[in-house]
Chains A and B, each alone.
Chain A
Amino acid sequence: MTTSAVRTPSGRDIRRFTAATARTRGGAGIGELLGDVYYAFITSAIGIGMAVGVVNTMRDALPPSSAAPAAGPDLSLPGLAALTVLAFVGVLLSLAGRLGPVGVGGAEATWWLSLPVDRRGLLRPVAVRLPLVAGAVSAVLLVLIDLGLRAQSGETLDRVLRVGAVGGLGAAALVLLAGVGQSFGAVRRRIATAGNVLLGLVPVLALVGGYSGWRPGDLPTPAPVIVVVLAVVVVAAGLLLDRRLARIPARDLRDSGSVASQAVGAMVSLDSRELGRALTDGAAPTRRRRVARFSWVSSAATALVAADLAVLRRSPRHLVQVVAAACVPAVVVGVRQIAVPGVLAAAFVVSGYVAMVATAEGARRAEMSPVLDRLLPLAAARVRTLRMVVPGVVMLLWSIAAFAAVARLEGDLSSWLALAVLSTPVWAGAAVRSAYRPSPDWSGPLVSTAAGALPVGVGGVLARGPDTVVLGLVPTGIAIVLGFVTPHLLIAQVVTSAIALAVGAHITTPKSVHA
């Protein structure tokens, strides 16, 4: 023992000391603070205003529920709303497990966790941050879903408030309970897996409900007792978590904090690939029970494809993502009020993009760390081409499921399946193009958007991938809107698919510099 000690400060003191010292150097006065608050308020108001506009449009556009029933599974809008909420719960649980929910990363982990101060005082703000955010987002989201999808006129303020309260309190309770589980040593990966399973169940429930005739006419207004019960759960879980904060080991706090820091950094820099890596790696097992033998690998090309396939196969989150996305067109077709060409085309593109992103995991990882690419004797363009194989095969399966749903609505199954096959290369090309996009260029001129000022270069980079999907699927989109497939559209799709493949395989060669 080499230095004399007096009473140690509290965790709260340490937080305040750190914050106060940083504030003296931050250079931000009350004016800047008010400016930030104003900016956040305006941005939130614009976002909510846009969402309310979409909701009102949906309410006006949705036809009455007396429309002719669809063939096959048949869902009602309230049923779809209930399933959407269930899917949201799955996403929330999965995120809570991946992010901790209680964690300390970076400098706080290094400089705070080793101090002999009460950790409750240190961790309290961290412990309430995620439940608060989840509660606020869920409250708004549930109200929007309720208003938009129920298509019932005459919503009362009382119902809106109760739905919002149930959404907010329910989400907060869920995250707080995940935190309690963390304090009792629950493995974060299992919490995340529970969320994935729930998410994966949603399309299954949709199909089961559709075939079994589950068609709720309306969702009941939440009874006050439910709001009270949820409030009690939130308070109880919050108190229990607060009492057990000091029981969470530093290693768990560091792991969770590391994932959260990486995820926040990715969001701030608008890097969706990094965000995906943060959320996937944090909950991934560090060891496999079985070692893949790759007995079918006989060349450098098959080695590359095998590696991509292994990455996808070992990521349950991405597999669930593909399966769930494959069910979306079928669900849309099953709900009479929204089974219209415009909604179907939008659902087709969005769900297809979600599935496509999942299939490109191998390519994204290779772009970040091209270890295998460097080991194999393959030209860069050929590597890009081979990286389209796994997305192509998986998206072919997705396309068959999606277009079969369209055919259920429009008839002429063979033509739609032909379009499914011919449009698949667009997804494969877009998958590789988005995976190999460069880092955003933050140095360009600024453009004002609802989400704040953004450099032009950022938008250009983020559009790589979606641009291929939108342009490459123009013939398919026209077919969906028209409700039938023509030979001309098939030919046009062949042409755009070929272009998408070429774009996906394209390598930008740096220009040589002559002194």
Chain B
Amino acid sequence: MSATPVVRVDDLVLSYGGEPVCAPVSFTIAAGRALALVGANGSGKSTVLRAVLGLLEPVSGSLQVLGRDVDEREELFRAQVSSVLDDDAYFPALTVAEHLLLTARGHGVRDPDDLTDELLEDFGLSDHADVLPVALSSGQRRRLLLAAGFARPRQLLVLDEPEQRLDQRMRAALAERLRAETDRGGAVLLATHDPELLESVAHRAVLVADDVSRRLSVADAARAIRAEPPR
């Protein structure tokens, strides 16, 4: 395991229109580890993820991924960091399988067809491989996005509430896949409201909040989520 953390965030301050989104955030993620961001709706979890992906300029603090300042304009950065945000946009004329093939080929995967077949199977989309996105349900479209996150090489996987729109069986399968990801040496950063997913995947957690953002044990983070008012 390399000594350089995959992600290093120090006193990161983010804002929209000049107003801070949350209290300064600090954390590191080593290779083979998973860190979960928890907090109430609107607390800034997704904003932190967007900053890690280079989609939002920090106001202050430092942010490094794989030992380098974040710059998503660099091809190397995009080759190493995979993400699944809350996008819901698809090419209307490309099938489910073709979306995955596009991703795999775009990343130069050696056997894109085999990988696509495997992901379709794992994410329960085999029967919909030839279906256009317009005919998918909301949950199936979410599974397609998640599958795309795995259809490429990566050293860091960033997921924004991956449990959204998934049934219990698929959530369990996702948790298993994320555990396998860290077992193989990959790093995972996810924002979640699902205590079961958190407990089965994350090694540490960070509570993102307006007043103060702090590190939590997984058990405390799961308790914090369970104490959240129903959404």
Asked if A22 meets B94 with Cβ closer than 8 Å, knowing A2-B154, A8-B108, A251-B55, the reply is: yes
Chain B residues with Cβ below 8 Å from A249 are 54-55, 72-73
Asked if A5 meets B155 with Cβ closer than 8 Å, knowing A115-B103, A286-B16, the reply is: no
Chain A residues with Cβ below 8 Å from B55 are 249-251, 254
Q: Please determine whether A111 and B18 come into contact, CB atoms closer than 8 angstroms.
A: no
User: CB within 8 Å of B: which of A106-141?
Assistant: 106-107, 109-112, 114-119
Q: Please determine whether B109 and A4 come into contact, CB atoms closer than 8 angstroms.
A: yes
Residue in contact with B153 in the complex, picked from A3, A107, A111, CB distance below 8 Å: A3
Is the C-beta of B181 less than 8 angstroms from some C-beta in chain A? yes
Is the C-beta of A1 less than 8 angstroms from some C-beta in chain B? yes
Interface majority SS (helix, strand, loop, mixed), chain B = loop
User: CB within 8 Å of A: which of B178-225?
Assistant: 181, 184-186
Q: Please determine whether A4 and B73 come into contact, CB atoms closer than 8 angstroms.
A: no
Is the C-beta of B76 less than 8 angstroms from some C-beta in chain A? yes
Q: Please determine whether A287 and B78 come into contact, CB atoms closer than 8 angstroms.
A: no
A-B CB pair tally, cutoff 8 Å: 120
Interface string of B101-136 (1 = CB under 8 A from A): 011111111100001000000000000000010000
Instruction: Tell me the complex Cα distance, A109–B154, Å.
Output: 19
Q: Which of A13-21, A220-228, A454-462 contacts B (4 or more CB under 8 A)?
A: A13-21
Chain B residues with Cβ below 8 Å from A291 are none
Interface residues on A, range: 35 or more
Chain B nearest CB from A161 CB (Å) reads 41
Closest to A24 in B: B93
Q: Please determine whether B105 and A116 come into contact, CB atoms closer than 8 angstroms.
A: no
User: CB within 8 Å of B: which of A20-37?
Assistant: 21-22, 25-26
Instruction: Tell me the complex Cα distance, A111–B94, Å.
Output: 11
Q: Please determine whether A22 and B108 come into contact, CB atoms closer than 8 angstroms.
A: no
Is the C-beta of A487 less than 8 angstroms from some C-beta in chain B? no
Q: Please determine whether A285 and B17 come into contact, CB atoms closer than 8 angstroms.
A: yes
Q: Please determine whether B91 and A111 come into contact, CB atoms closer than 8 angstroms.
A: yes
Is the C-beta of A514 less than 8 angstroms from some C-beta in chain B? no
Chain B nearest CB from A400 CB (Å) reads 38
Q: Please determine whether B152 and A3 come into contact, CB atoms closer than 8 angstroms.
A: yes
Chain B nearest CB from A150 CB (Å) reads 47
Is the C-beta of B227 less than 8 angstroms from some C-beta in chain A? no
Instruction: Tell me the complex Cα distance, A4–B98, Å.
Output: 19
Q: Which of B22-30, B40-48, B82-90, B163-171 contacts A (4 or more CB under 8 A)?
A: B82-90
Closest to A23 in B: B93
Instruction: Tell me the complex Cα distance, A287–B19, Å.
Output: 8
Chain B residues with Cβ below 8 Å from A2 are 150, 153-154, 181, 184, 186
Is the C-beta of A513 less than 8 angstroms from some C-beta in chain B? no
Q: Please determine whether A116 and B79 come into contact, CB atoms closer than 8 angstroms.
A: yes
Q: Please determine whether A287 and B16 come into contact, CB atoms closer than 8 angstroms.
A: yes
Chain A residues with Cβ below 8 Å from B106 are 8-9, 14, 112, 115-117
User: CB within 8 Å of B: which of A71-124?
Assistant: 105-107, 109-112, 114-119
Chain A nearest CB from B65 CB (Å) reads 14
Instruction: Tell me the complex Cα distance, A326–B68, Å.
Output: 56
Residue in contact with A250 in the complex, picked from B72, B79, B103, B110, CB distance below 8 Å: B72
Instruction: Tell me the complex Cα distance, A510–B92, Å.
Output: 36
Chain B nearest CB from A123 CB (Å) reads 12
Instruction: Tell me the complex Cα distance, A3–B100, Å.
Output: 14
Chain B nearest CB from A409 CB (Å) reads 48
Is the C-beta of B56 less than 8 angstroms from some C-beta in chain A? yes
Q: Please determine whether B76 and A116 come into contact, CB atoms closer than 8 angstroms.
A: yes
Interface string of B59-88 (1 = CB under 8 A from A): 000000000000011011011001100010
Q: Please determine whether B107 and A8 come into contact, CB atoms closer than 8 angstroms.
A: yes
Q: Please determine whether A5 and B186 come into contact, CB atoms closer than 8 angstroms.
A: no
Q: Please determine whether B91 and A4 come into contact, CB atoms closer than 8 angstroms.
A: no
Instruction: Tell me the complex Cα distance, A247–B132, Å.
Output: 33
Residue from A4, A115, A251, A287 whose CB has the most chain B CB atoms within 10 Å: A115
Residue from B91, B106, B152 whose CB has the most chain A CB atoms within 10 Å: B106
CB-defined A-B contacts under 8 Å, sample of 11: A1-B186, A2-B184, A3-B104, A8-B106, A14-B102, A21-B102, A22-B91, A112-B106, A115-B78, A249-B73, A254-B55
Known: A3-B152, A8-B75, A111-B91. 15 other contacts (CB 8 A): A1-B153, A2-B154, A3-B107, A3-B109, A5-B107, A6-B108, A6-B109, A6-B110, A8-B106, A21-B93, A107-B89, A109-B87, A119-B73, A248-B73, A250-B72
Q: Which residues of B contact A (CB under 8 A)?
A: 16-19, 54-57, 72-73, 75-76, 78-79, 82-83, 87, 89-95, 98-99, 102-110, 115, 132, 148, 150-155, 181, 184-186
List of 5 A-B pairs having minimum Cβ-Cβ separation, nearest first: A287-B17, A22-B93, A116-B79, A115-B106, A8-B108
